[in-house]
Amino acid sequence: MSSPATASRILSRCLSTASSPSGLQPWLFIGLGNPGEKFKLTRHNVGFNSIDAFARSEGIPMTTVHCKALFGEGMVGGAPVLLAKPQTYMNLSGDSTGPLAAYYKLPLNRVLVMYDDMDLPCGVLRLQPKGGHARHNGLKNVIYHFRGNKEFGRLRIGIGRPPGQMDPKAFLLQPFNKTAREKIDSALEESTDILRTIISEGLTEAARLYNTEQKYKHLRVDSLSL
């Protein structure tokens, strides 16, 4: 792992040559969430949590403000990586993500957005190379600021559905209970491995390796017994 200063110098060189055939084009990993302590551990902020987990694991400081986002940069496995947590509040995430991708002149197939997903069981991850917004307002705004282009990667982080008749908006802004928090913390560790695999093997291969395993991991062994 390079020191932050060394990594920044290397990254600058990579960015300056990214458009050349031999250049190393960076990955831009973006986690969606809401800024502020009161939202830090809520279900809606698992995208932020995923970026934080990866930044800690790779020693990348998230201390810069750039394009309305908390921002970090470094080298992972010899490849340049950009990390961002938009500070615009969830529903205006595109105000940050659009300018970031434009600033670094990145094709959208080098962008990955991480966010909470009620359509997946709690703690289950799903990696996709493209898709719609599935009624997620933060992702909807990101697509809008990408001029309607949906051809960017996304890591969906399952948070499960609200119980009973609970308002989904209230559910999103509540913290996890103890059992769910344990599942999410485990998923965040797995997400760091997924991001490393994307960097080393590409998004398509990472999805092939992880998605089937993730699909069934929430099932208990006793629920499969005859």
Q: Which residues are identified as catalytic?
A: 44
List CB contacts of 66: < 8 A, sequence separation 6 or more: 84, 100, 103
Q: Please name which of 161, 155, 163 lies closest in space to residue 192, comparing C-alpha atoms.
A: 155
Distance (Å, rounded) from C-alpha 188 to C-alpha 116? 12
Phi first, then psi: give them for residue 35, nearest 5 degrees. Answer: -75, 155
Q: Which helix (H) or strand (E) holds 4?
A: helix 4-16
At residue 191, the 3 state secondary structure works out as helix
Token reading at 34: 């809401």
Place of tokens 């009620």: 118
| Adjacent-strand bridge partners of 175 | 42
Q: 101 near 147, Cβ under 8 Å?
A: no
List CB contacts of 168: < 8 A, sequence separation 6 or more: 118, 162
Q: Please name which of 113, 110, 76, 81 lies closest in space to residue 96, comparing C-alpha atoms.
A: 113
